[in-house]
């Protein structure tokens, strides 16, 4: 568990550095009298904007064993111009506690039967985005998840490494896949160092050429409802709305429901 905590602190440092290097000094009114060897702000500039000591900030970026207060986290979020999802992620990283090793979740029978009874495409994922339950409509829209070997039955693996997913999302695949990686990053960083998450990353690196570049940007976005354009093998072009919900039985379970629009000419 201590190794996982060390890795989570490293992800905190990586996230701070990625956001610092993204900022434009000129846009923030910081004069650059010296030539900058690297993009973004310098560490001392971030520390000054946040009103904290330079050494303290350096220790945070280095992933050292320090515990920033909530006010320090908020000051850093303001200094780094973080959006709401990024701010929430920084708070979560700063308070990450020791965790037991990841264990694959199970779906209560009642919840499973309810999902299977839905007429719209629906499936349930766990914390690592493993696909745990689905209905017949999801099989028709996506694929029969039951044919995927259990260790690979993961919605992120499906999206990034399955040729069927690339065909289904067509020209919008890269945009949607990148968004999903940024959503998953918020979860991964809290479990960084766990063997199950390390294994998943290895599969993603191996199976998707674009993944490494997306992962290195350390982007974080929140999960929101939306609309997607799909290209079904037999039904042709479709528009689908989607939304996600947490299960009261186990908050680690997430229900995803799609609604296929009847008028798909838009």
Whether residues 129 and 254 share a domain: the answer is yes
Q: What's the CATH code of the domain at 49?
A: 1.10.260.40
pLDDT in tens, 73-86: 999 999 999 999 99
- pLDDT at position 66, please? 80
- pLDDT at position 34, please? 60
Question: Does some domain include residue 119?
Answer: yes
Name the residue with tokens 């690297």: 38
- The tokens for 227 are 């609309």
Q: List residues bridging with 259 in a β-sheet.
A: 241
Whether residues 32 and 120 share a domain: the answer is no
Q: Which residue, 36, 69, 94, sits at the end of a domain?
A: 94
Segment 202-230 mean pLDDT: 95
Q: How far apart are CA 227 and CA 219, in angstroms?
A: 21
Q: Average per-residue pLDDT in the chain?
A: 90
Total structural domains within the chain? 2
- pLDDT at position 1, please? 41
Q: Which residue, 60, 94, 128, sits at the end of a domain?
A: 94
Q: What's the CATH code of the domain at 181?
A: 3.30.450.180
Q: Coil, helix or strand for 256?
A: strand
Q: What are the DSSP calls for 80-102, one per residue?
A: TT--HHHHHHHHHHHT----PPP
Q: Is this prediction's pTM over 0.75?
A: yes
* Contacts with 194 (C-beta within 8 Å, 6 or more apart), sequence order: 4, 99, 101, 102
Q: Which residue, 94, 118, 150, sits at the end of a domain?
A: 94
Segment 21-31 mean pLDDT: 84
- pLDDT at position 2, please? 43
Residue 23 has pLDDT above 80, yes or no: yes
- Within 10 angstroms of residue 106's Cβ, the number of other Cβ atoms is 12
Domain that holds residue 117: 109-260
Phi, psi of 97, deg, nearest 5:
-105, 170
pLDDT in tens, 175-211: 999 999 999 999 999 898 899 999 999 999 999 999 9
- pLDDT at position 240, please? 96
Segment 110-133 mean pLDDT: 97
Question: Does some domain include residue 48?
Answer: yes
């Amino acid at each position: 568990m201590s190794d996982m905590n060390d890795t989570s602190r490293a992800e905190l440092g990586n996230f701070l550095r990625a956001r610092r290097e993204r900022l434009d000094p000129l846009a923030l009114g910081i004069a650059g009298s010296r030539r900058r060897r690297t993009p973004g702000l310098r560490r001392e500039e971030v520390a000054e904007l946040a009103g904290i000591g330079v050494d303290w900030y350096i220790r945070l970026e280095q992933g050292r064993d320090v515990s920033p207060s909530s006010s320090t986290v908020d000051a850093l979020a303001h200094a780094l111009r973080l959006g709401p999802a990024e701010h929430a992620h920084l708070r979560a990283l700063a308070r990450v506690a020791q965790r037991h090793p990841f264990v694959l979740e199970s779906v209560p029978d009642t919840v499973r039967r309810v999902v299977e009874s839905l007429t719209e495409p629906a499936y349930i994922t766990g914390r690592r985005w493993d696909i745990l339950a689905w209905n017949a409509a999801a099989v028709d829209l996506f694929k029969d998840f039951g044919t995927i070997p259990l260790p690979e039955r993961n919605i992120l693996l499906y999206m990034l490494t399955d040729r069927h997913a690339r065909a289904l999302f067509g020209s919008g695949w890269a945009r949607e896949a990148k968004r999903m990686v940024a959503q998953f990053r918020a979860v991964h960083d809290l479990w960084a160092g766990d063997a199950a998450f390390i294994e998943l990353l290895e599969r993603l690196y191996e199976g998707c050429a674009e993944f490494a570049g997306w992962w290195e940007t350390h982007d974080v976005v929140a999960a929101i409802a939306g609309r997607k354009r799909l290209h079904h093998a037999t039904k042709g072009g479709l528009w689908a709305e989607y939304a996600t919900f947490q299960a009261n039985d186990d908050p680690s379970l997430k229900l995803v429901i799609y609604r296929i629009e009847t008028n798909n000419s838009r």
